[in-house]
Structure 1
Amino acid sequence: MITPLANILCFGAAHFDRTLQCTEQFVPAASNPVRTLHRKPGGVGRNIAVHLRLLGNNVAMLGAVGDDGDGEQVIAALSELGIDTRAIHRLEGKHTAGYTAVLDETGELALGMMDAEVYDFLSIDLLADQLPNLQAWPWWLIDANLPATTISWLADNKGGSKFCAATVSPSKAARFAPVLDKIDLLITNRAEAKVLTGIEINEIDQAKTAIELLRAKGVQDVVITLGAKGVVSSDRDGTAFWPPLPTKVCDVNGAGDAFYSGFLACFAKPGATMDAAVSEGLAMASLTAETQGTTVWDLTQDAVHLRAKHAYKKPL
């Protein structure tokens, strides 16, 4: 029996990612023969929600899909895991979002295409009558695929819910800039943090400076991920650098989203500490990087706790 550890509502993207590869030399502006390498579920909100659920949490997803086969499959796959999908909107006449990557004959990205138009319809008008139900969730994980106006409205109307921001990409991170003083937890990478602070982050000291600025703007708790270098975290008890955990890297795709899941699965529990949450976030990122694909389907809480024991910090 799964015992819920936290109650988290994830807002954002849930779709399919497709990867194609050219079977002959890639020629721009021409028809290129390709083969399909894979088609798999994707989307930041979806990726985080799935690992949260696999860790035993009570999870719901708010998003949008089209009235098509992809949309039906997205909802069905989440429902089968026990994720509450009642707040995923099926929009008539719209297409479910999707990312398509076309690799050239050597395996390098030749073209990437993201159709995310359906998320633009997650408007205030669409969500307003659901607000009491949304506020019943103690934690909101909101990814930046939502429109900026909707993010601002949610920030203004979060009530007693805690607001965790997932910045998604540099181009979308700016959507959180007007509401930094209403964000309870910000987890972002260095490129996205630069958009919010204007600070180029290549070294740990620069991450610390960016965090100080973000906290001055009102964000209570901040984590900046530095990829293979580790993470820098900050709360009222101080700022610290955390080296990455020893990892036999197989596929780093999804490791960043997995950090959110491990962190929130811990941090959303009463009495949780920043140190424990960062340790479990690093553990989830490490386990995911050792897995082919973005999801650790055989995930256990014991595996996360065991890996997290190797995490340590250096106060800054």
Structure 2
Amino acid sequence: MTERELEILALLKRNPLIAQQSIAEKLGISRSAVAGHIMNLTHKGVIKGKGYILAEARYTVVIGGANMDILGCPVGPLQIGDSNPGSVTCSPGGVGRNIAENLARLGSDTHLISALGKDTYGQMIMEQCQQAGIDMKACIELNDYSTSTYLSVLDSDSDMHVAINDMAILERLSVAVLKSQEEIIRRADLIVVDANLSAESLEYILSNFSDRPIFVDTVSCAKAKKLAPFLSSIHTLKPNLKEAEQLSGMTITDACELPALANWFHSQGVKRIFLSMGSDGVFYSDEGVQALVPAIATQMVNANGAGDAFLAGLAHGWIQGWTTEESTKFAMGAAVVALSHIATINPNMSEISVKRVIKESLC
């Protein structure tokens, strides 16, 4: 689908009875152009009846954190222990939420299960998610907790220097809450979770839905430890090298040792593993096929969110039925799109923009 068709589809998902004129006004195009796009969507089988009845689509459920990201960026070298001139921006974030928004912008039908406070930040997150086309009906909104916040400060190289997160509200995304959404989780073609969830909630998901492919983002070394007892239930795992070393107990000193590290995870039941190697690229291993894929050269504006875009790219590739190699290259392109914008989510994220990055990297 084209970018314009994806925009129209997102509006139809939110309101199947929306008038063509209303769509035209929201997108700044003519009514006749909207009619043409809707005809194309009908021919493609995406729309299958009057009232914009949408064809049953394969969908992903993402379960994890939703934060307001507060980002400080100095204009020069970061001076520790001093006040630094620079810029401070706010944008919706959170690993699970970031993956969900990237997935939706790539064109995949996406549902998010998370916890928000009934406050200004929570309202901003809810509105942006809905505008991006994420189904938010399974999210809980709480009066007695504040929406999660993630405060980070970049260094002069636009990489994270330090961060603090306040995610107490996520403890309320309990097993009882997840059980209330069991039907939507079980019907999903793909489940994506992040390790921000409590150990109890992770155990519930990984123990009860392992008949579905489950993709897991390890988030950090501290949070990755919670996954150790449940590796056999994980289809696709995306750790960085430090997180993988901690989970396995292995220490890697040379790239030639990466296959052995991946094989250890396979011996624990993990079907696919994607090791993030930073500027060295990504090492993937899937059913005996292993490769180190070099990073795509790019000018980094903000490192926050690149890993989330990568996992969203993998999830999108799985839903589309692509090979692991195709999905990996696409995911790396998605990470580059994310890196090139100051906000955690690049508003220009789309399947078309990612494929353009991949094409340009081959020139």
Q: TM-score, normalised by structure 2?
A: 0.76
C-alpha distance in structure 2 between counterparts of 1:227 and 1:27, whole Å:
28
Query: For residue 167 of structure 2, what is the aligned residue in structure 1?
Result: 116
Describe the shift of the 1:171–1:137 C-alpha distance in structure 2 as closer, same or farther (beyond 3 A).
same
C-alpha distance in structure 2 between counterparts of 1:114 and 1:252, whole Å:
17
DSSP 3-state at the match of 2:239: strand
DSSP 3-state at the match of 1:84: coil
**Contact between 1:66 and 1:93, CA under 8 Å: does it hold in 2?**
yes
Which of 87, 108, 125 is residue 57 of structure 1 equivalent to? 108
C-alpha distance in structure 2 between counterparts of 1:294 and 1:6, whole Å:
26
Q: Please state how far the C-alpha of 1:142 moved relative to its aligned partner.
A: 0.1
Which of 128, 146, 149 is residue 95 of structure 1 equivalent to? 146
Query: For residue 323 of structure 2, what is the aligned residue in structure 1?
Result: 273
What is the number of equivalent residue pairs in this alignment? 308
C-alpha distance in structure 2 between counterparts of 1:298 and 1:55, whole Å:
10
Q: Which amino acid aligns with 1:301?
A: E
Pair 1:234 & 2:285 matched: yes
**Contact between 1:26 and 1:104, CA under 8 Å: does it hold in 2?**
no
Describe the shift of the 1:200–1:6 C-alpha distance in structure 2 as closer, same or farther (beyond 3 A).
farther
Q: Which amino acid aligns with 2:352?
A: D
C-alpha distance in structure 2 between counterparts of 1:298 and 1:22, whole Å:
24
Pair 1:8 & 2:60 matched: yes
**Contact between 1:145 and 1:168, CA under 8 Å: does it hold in 2?**
yes
Deviates more, 1:220-229 or 1:129-138: 129-138
C-alpha distance in structure 2 between counterparts of 1:279 and 1:6, whole Å:
22
**Contact between 2:74 and 2:87, CA under 8 Å: does it hold in 1?**
no
Unmatched tracts of structure 2, length 5 or more: 7-45, 47-55
Describe the shift of the 1:285–1:155 C-alpha distance in structure 2 as closer, same or farther (beyond 3 A).
same
**Contact between 2:221 and 2:243, CA under 8 Å: does it hold in 1?**
yes
**Contact between 2:115 and 2:170, CA under 8 Å: does it hold in 1?**
yes
Deviates more, 1:107-116 or 1:232-241: 107-116
Query: For residue 290 of structure 1, what is the aligned residue in structure 2?
Result: 340
Pair 1:260 & 2:282 matched: no
Pair 1:223 & 2:274 matched: yes
**Contact between 1:204 and 1:232, CA under 8 Å: does it hold in 2?**
no
The structure having more radius of gyration, on CA atoms, is 2
Describe the shift of the 1:33–1:243 C-alpha distance in structure 2 as closer, same or farther (beyond 3 A).
closer
C-alpha distance in structure 2 between counterparts of 1:116 and 1:308, whole Å:
35
Q: Please state how far the C-alpha of 1:212 moved relative to its aligned partner.
A: 0.7
Q: Please state how far the C-alpha of 1:245 moved relative to its aligned partner.
A: 1.6
Q: Please state how far the C-alpha of 1:307 moved relative to its aligned partner.
A: 3.1
C-alpha distance in structure 2 between counterparts of 1:136 and 1:62, whole Å:
14
**Contact between 1:62 and 1:87, CA under 8 Å: does it hold in 2?**
yes
C-alpha distance in structure 1 between counterparts of 2:117 and 2:224, whole Å:
25
Describe the shift of the 1:102–1:229 C-alpha distance in structure 2 as closer, same or farther (beyond 3 A).
closer
Deviates more, 1:285-294 or 1:219-228: 285-294
Describe the shift of the 1:22–1:166 C-alpha distance in structure 2 as closer, same or farther (beyond 3 A).
closer
Q: Please state how far the C-alpha of 1:88 moved relative to its aligned partner.
A: 0.9
Q: Which amino acid aligns with 1:11?
A: I
C-alpha distance in structure 2 between counterparts of 1:217 and 1:21, whole Å:
41
1:126-205 to 2 correspondences below 5 Å: 126-158=177-209, 160-205=211-256
DSSP 3-state at the match of 1:87: coil
Q: Please state how far the C-alpha of 1:33 moved relative to its aligned partner.
A: 10
DSSP 3-state at the match of 2:138: strand
Q: Please state how far the C-alpha of 1:54 moved relative to its aligned partner.
A: 0.8
Deviation per residue, 1:261-305 (Å, 9 max, x gap):
1121112223x2111110101111122223333222123322322
Q: Please state how far the C-alpha of 1:36 moved relative to its aligned partner.
A: 6.3
C-alpha distance in structure 2 between counterparts of 1:78 and 1:72, whole Å:
10
Query: For residue 46 of structure 1, what is the aligned residue in structure 2?
Result: 97
Describe the shift of the 1:161–1:311 C-alpha distance in structure 2 as closer, same or farther (beyond 3 A).
farther
DSSP 3-state at the match of 1:233: strand
C-alpha distance in structure 1 between counterparts of 2:261 and 2:287, whole Å:
16
Deviation per residue, 1:3-25 (Å, 9 max, x gap):
698511111111111135899x8
Q: TM-score, normalised by structure 1?
A: 0.87
Q: Please state how far the C-alpha of 1:240 moved relative to its aligned partner.
A: 1.1
Describe the shift of the 1:86–1:243 C-alpha distance in structure 2 as closer, same or farther (beyond 3 A).
same
Q: Please state how far the C-alpha of 1:237 moved relative to its aligned partner.
A: 4.1
